[in-house]
Structure 1
Amino acid sequence: MTISRRAFISSSLMLPLGLSSVRSFADTPAISKMRQFVINGNMVIGPEFGEPFDDETKAQLEKTGLTAFKLSLGGSRGSYEEVHEVLDSLPEIYASNPDTLMHINSASDLQRAYDTRRTGIIYSFEAATMLGERVERVEEFANRGVRIMQLGYNHTSPFGAGVMSTDGPLGLSKLGYAVIKQMEENEVLLDLSHAHELTADEALKTSSKPVSMTHTGCYEINPHQRNKSNKTLRATADSGGIVGIYEMSYLTADLEQQSLEAFMAHIKHALKICGEDHVGIGSDTPVLGFDTGPQSMAQWNEINRQRKETGVAAPGEGPPPYVVGINGPHKMAVISEELNARGVAPAVIDKIIGNNFARVLSDTLPA
């Protein structure tokens, strides 16, 4: 789930739900501190982020408790020029909301977001189309504040195979090795969420820094291309990295809105395989919740149609990106409560809700 400049400026698909009855983050008993690192590894913003927040939007964002979230730029096929346009436009959201939002470009920025009670946005790429075959563009985009990058989307890129690749070499290409080196030299976190298992295996073996799967699921729970095998999950943890569990329709084999039980099953399995220091949340949902109204659903269905028509959709796409029961700004609070109800220790919940992502970002981003 990503945004383009057009979507950022004019789309009405991703809108806040206005859940006025949800509890504030600080009221949640599973949260051990009034304000801790709360980081989501993949989220989407709607048009409300393109203008000064009204009081209601500020209140909803405050309810999220978010210290920071990762935002994907350029979609699945964004060009070099398009991504630069997006980067040119994004400073407007901070100028419009200086006391509420900030850009995260370093570990110190993350700490500053925490200290000033603002929500930070971490720029990332899900595709490699904006890089073309030019590995030097990693440095160019890192200098513009893009701090998390993938090797490609669902299909094969110049750097390696994606989760839906079936033909040709399925591992890391020669350029792939070079681009990983560029990422490490420029303090960019490698994200393998959309990488083929062989690509991920070779990337994990060559990387000398922590690696992320910012938004994925567990293949053993549901054998889907976008979910990761125990081997890949374990190798990601062994790198010192992190696995963020998403809310996508790939949690189960049923083409239906995903349940909280299914979501929790993936988190618990990831904890078993990766350990408590390497699991987080990477929802791949709108920050303030997915609007389930008729207009929004019609737009969502059209996006699905276009993705299937162009061949970028993974099997099983269809239901909107949210888990029943956590669709709204209360998401991280409810996840905390549900983990607590399942016997997860408060200190471990703190790690899952944000401390693990904070550690990995501190280990890989500029100081």
Structure 2
Amino acid sequence: MTGTPLIINALGQLDNPNAPRSMRAAAELNATSEQFTVDARTLAEARASGLTAVTITLGYVMGELPPYEHTVHEIDVWDGIVDRHPDALLKVTTAADIRTAARDGRVGVVYGFQNAVAVGDDVSRVAEFAERGVRVVQLTYNQANHLGGGSAAPAGTGLTAFGREVVDALNDHHVMVDLSHSGERTCLDAAAHSRVPVSVNHTGCRALTDLPRNKTDDELRLVASRGGFVGIYFMPFLNPTGHARAADVVEHLAHAVDVCGEDHVGIGTDGPVTAIDDLDAYRERLAEHVARRRAAGVSAAGERADTYPFVVDLRGVDQFRELIRLLERRGWSATRIEKIMGRNFLDYAERVWTA
């Protein structure tokens, strides 16, 4: 295709995983934002990849840190990161900010949660987080919480009464309700309850790979039918062997388009642009990390010590261009590819973030 489309990663990372601090953080069960390395290489490669905007994860996800206090602190940390790099980064609070980032050659940073535990039992905190610039809130991580069931929770665990209150508050304050990691019942409940379109910012299709972290066609169809968005990740859950390849990403994108329509699908890689340089050394650390997650009860079915948490042939600074080439080879039109790579997320943001 001619020209560079908007590239919006619905869930990713800004980090140099090769920096010593980030390598140490990778061994932790719950790395904090202060442990990520947003250095010159991170910024240069993000921009060189063509990335327009990315939703990053901040705040409490799991572990022993106090959820609310830790989350407020992490918002401060990311405000500091963005403020220190005004020529490279732009905090995104509106869809217009994404267009500004594209115009200026900066990377838009969307603040997102991967667990809503930080709300505690005080739904008014949703307003506080929205005021601080949080624009995406995932209701659960893999385990259940007081809002609903995660993908590792018992089947049939639905959205709770308090979960419905939180969804209402997120709607009121123009924050995306993200149902990634949720169990099927909670996803269906939340998508049906929400007055505003919802999203699944990083997932795969269970019809192709039957793992709980992937979404059923019923979930995908309901999210799309109500005006929502589905992002396909670059994760091992795309292949039953756990060794996902770029071709698997294409197949899951194609299935999602078949189910949802081409106006509701995009990408949410769940990884950084900067690639790990020494895969052999990384593989030695991976087994320990997977074991810790399993012992803590926060791992997802399909996580194994012999599988990378990324697609090995779709990483690094050329990952988006390579995906575009593969989609072109499949015969997809330039218009469809532009939608998948970013325009659909931008249109969805317009539907949710507009006051």
CA distances 1:143-182 after superposition (whole Å, capped 9, x unpaired):
1111101111112111111111117x61111011110000
How many residue pairs were aligned?
333
- What are the within-5 Å matches in structure 2 for residues 33-72 of structure 1? 33-34=3-4, 36-46=5-15, 53-54=39-40, 57-72=42-57
Contact 2:13 2:54 in 1 (8 A): no
Q: CA deviation at 1:113?
A: 0.9
Contact 1:214 1:242 in 2 (8 A): yes
- What are the within-5 Å matches in structure 2 for residues 158-307 of structure 1? 158-166=146-154, 170-256=157-243, 258-307=244-293
- What corresponds to 1:135 in structure 2? 123
Q: How far apart, CA to CA, are the structure 2 residues paired with 1:217 and 1:58?
A: 28
Contact 2:60 2:117 in 1 (8 A): no
CA distances 1:266-308 after superposition (whole Å, capped 9, x unpaired):
1110011011001101111123224444444444333222111
**Higher RCO structure, 1 or 2 (CA under 8 Å, sep 6+):** 1
Contact 2:213 2:301 in 1 (8 A): no
Contact 1:76 1:312 in 2 (8 A): no
> Is residue 44 of structure 2 the alignment partner of residue 74 of structure 1?
no
- State the identity as a percent: 34
> Is residue 304 of structure 2 the alignment partner of residue 335 of structure 1?
no
Normalising by structure 1, we get a TM-score of: 0.86
Q: How far apart, CA to CA, are the structure 2 residues paired with 1:308 and 1:292?
A: 25
Q: How far apart, CA to CA, are the structure 1 residues paired with 2:173 and 2:182?
A: 21
Q: CA deviation at 1:366?
A: 4.0
Q: How far apart, CA to CA, are the structure 1 residues paired with 2:232 and 2:249?
A: 8
Q: How far apart, CA to CA, are the structure 2 residues paired with 1:329 and 1:291?
A: 12
- What corresponds to 2:73 in structure 1? 85
- What corresponds to 2:333 in structure 1? 345
Q: The residue matched to 1:153 in structure 2 has which SS? A: coil
- What are the within-5 Å matches in structure 2 for residues 316-331 of structure 1? 316-318=302-304, 319-331=307-319
> Is residue 350 of structure 2 the alignment partner of residue 362 of structure 1?
yes
Contact 1:222 1:252 in 2 (8 A): yes
2:45 is aligned with what amino acid? Q
CA distances 1:86-105 after superposition (whole Å, capped 9, x unpaired):
11111222233211111111
Q: The residue matched to 1:37 in structure 2 has which SS? A: coil
- What corresponds to 1:8 in structure 2? none
2:263 is aligned with what amino acid? D
Q: How far apart, CA to CA, are the structure 2 residues paired with 1:154 and 1:127?
A: 9
Q: How far apart, CA to CA, are the structure 1 residues paired with 2:12 and 2:82?
A: 17
CA distances 1:57-96 after superposition (whole Å, capped 9, x unpaired):
5442222111101111135226111111111111222233
Give structure 1 stretches of 5+ with no counterpart: 1-29
Q: CA deviation at 1:37?
A: 1.9
For the structure 1 residues 280 and 143, does the alpha-carbon distance in structure 2 shift closer, same or farther, using more than 3 Å as the test? same
Match of 1:118 among 101, 106, 131: 106
Q: The residue matched to 1:280 in structure 2 has which SS? A: strand
For the structure 1 residues 75 and 294, does the alpha-carbon distance in structure 2 shift closer, same or farther, using more than 3 Å as the test? farther
For the structure 1 residues 51 and 255, does the alpha-carbon distance in structure 2 shift closer, same or farther, using more than 3 Å as the test? closer
- What corresponds to 1:27 in structure 2? none
- What corresponds to 1:109 in structure 2? 97
Q: The residue matched to 2:118 in structure 1 has which SS? A: coil
Q: How far apart, CA to CA, are the structure 2 residues paired with 1:235 and 1:321?
A: 28
Q: How far apart, CA to CA, are the structure 2 residues paired with 1:75 and 1:305?
A: 21
Q: The residue matched to 2:203 in structure 1 has which SS? A: strand
1:212 is aligned with what amino acid? S
Q: How far apart, CA to CA, are the structure 2 residues paired with 1:209 and 1:33?
A: 33
